[in-house]
Amino acid sequence: MKFFIDTANLEQIKEAQDLGILDGVTTNPSLMAKEGINGKEAILNHYKTICEIVDGDISAEVLSTTYEEMIKEGEELAAIHPNIVVKIPMIKDGVKALKYFSNKGIKTNCTLIFSAGQALLAAKAGATYVSPFLGRLDDISVDGMNLIEEIRIIFDNYMFDTEILAASIRSPMHIINCAKIGADVVTSPLASILNLLKHPLTDSGLAQFVADAKKMG
């Protein structure tokens, strides 16, 4: 399973990269705005910097919602670096844009996926990734993990190349359950990745080993 980090924060991206487990980065307009990135030039430069830090797929989301504008914007984003993946919302014009980029050999990530039908449509249009949002479904008392299972079954039935990129991760259990189901990728905040490290028996066991090591001189 690939690990992506879901942030536009350069420090957090560097920290995950230094850990040696990072395969890529996802961003969205809210995450970019949170970092105070403003204006077209700043946006393109920020993606360029991320591509210099991480050698893996970097999702850059279009800000427009019409087919023509998404094509124009997506082509500008894709021109930044070969690792840029154009992130397109799951709307009618978005499906057309996925097909356009797929025909051109430009990677895409279809975002805001909340149903198996949406994932199927994105895969038919040739999306490289689909991003089902687990946490946001859990937030409204719908089992997000169930959606990952449904998409896994559908994609396996027809051997779609489209990868399941589990998004809107809220906890290390989301990551573990995605791995059990067979999601191809999880994109997670740094905190949930680091929480995978934690176990009280590891901490107490290590404290004992360190204390005993001192006795050995």
59: which 2 tokens?
A: 């999702």
Residue 162 binds ligand E4P (CB under 6 A): no
Residue from 101, 133, 155, 160 in contact with ligand E4P (CB under 6 A): 133
The span of 41-49, 98-106, 129-137, 173-181 binding ligand E4P (CB under 6 A) equals 129-137
Burial class (CB in 10 A: 0-12, 13-18, 19+), 200: exposed
Residue from 5, 6, 54, 95 in contact with ligand E4P (CB under 6 A): 6
Nearer to ligand E4P, 111 or 210 (CB): 111
**Using an 8 Å Cβ cutoff, are 22 and 4 in contact?**
yes
Q: Supply the minimum distance, in Å, between the C-beta of residue 125 and ligand E4P.
A: 18
62: which 2 tokens?
A: 């279009």
Nearer to ligand E4P, 28 or 118 (CB): 28
Nearer to ligand E4P, 62 or 215 (CB): 62
Query: What are the phi and psi torsion angles at 127 (to 5°)?
Result: -60, 140
Burial class (CB in 10 A: 0-12, 13-18, 19+), 158: exposed
Q: Supply the minimum distance, in Å, between the C-beta of residue 208 and ligand E4P.
A: 38
**Using an 8 Å Cβ cutoff, are 52 and 17 in contact?**
no
Closest C-alpha to 125, from 82, 67, 84: 67
Catalytic residue among 14, 34, 72, 87: 87
- 2 given a catalytic annotation: no
Residue 187 binds ligand E4P (CB under 6 A): yes
DSSP 8-state symbol, 66: S
Residue 167 binds ligand E4P (CB under 6 A): yes
Interatomic CA distance for residues 165 and 4, integer angstroms? 9
What's the per-residue H, E or C state across 80-111?
CCCCEEEEEECCHHHHHHHHHHHHHCCCEEEE
Residue from 8, 13, 25, 26 in contact with ligand E4P (CB under 6 A): 26
Residue 192 binds ligand E4P (CB under 6 A): no
Q: Supply the minimum distance, in Å, between the C-beta of residue 66 and ligand E4P.
A: 21
The contact set with ligand E4P (CB under 6 A) reads: 6, 26, 28, 111, 131, 133, 135-136, 167-168, 187
Active site residues: 87
